[in-house]
Amino acid sequence: MERLRELREEQGLSQTRLAQRADLNPSTVNQIELGVRLPTMGTLHKLARTLGVSVSELVPDAPKALAR
């Protein structure tokens, strides 16, 4: 997920620090950024909340009903 990486880097966060703040495993963040793993809705909400954005901003191509 390119947007996740962009937002994380804009805020000066490492993958490990983002994972800690979002209560996720650092390997999960890494795999999501690489596109190896699809995030669950719960994980998307944690990441979006931690980065201070909406899920729709984190995943701009997601269907509107999923990005709420």
Checking if the pLDDT of 49 tops 90, the result is yes
- pTM summary value: 0.88
Q: Which domains does the chain have, with CATH numbers?
A: 2-57 (1.10.260.40)
Cβ pair 22, 47 in contact under 8 A: yes
Cβ pair 5, 33 in contact under 8 A: yes
Mean pLDDT, residues 11-35 taken together:
97
Give the model's confidence band at 12: pLDDT under 50 very low, under 70 low, under 90 confident, else very high.
very high
- List the structure tokens of 55: 């899920």
* H-type alpha helices, the chain: 2-10, 15-22, 26-34, 41-51, 55-58
CA atoms within 13 A on the CB side of 51: 29
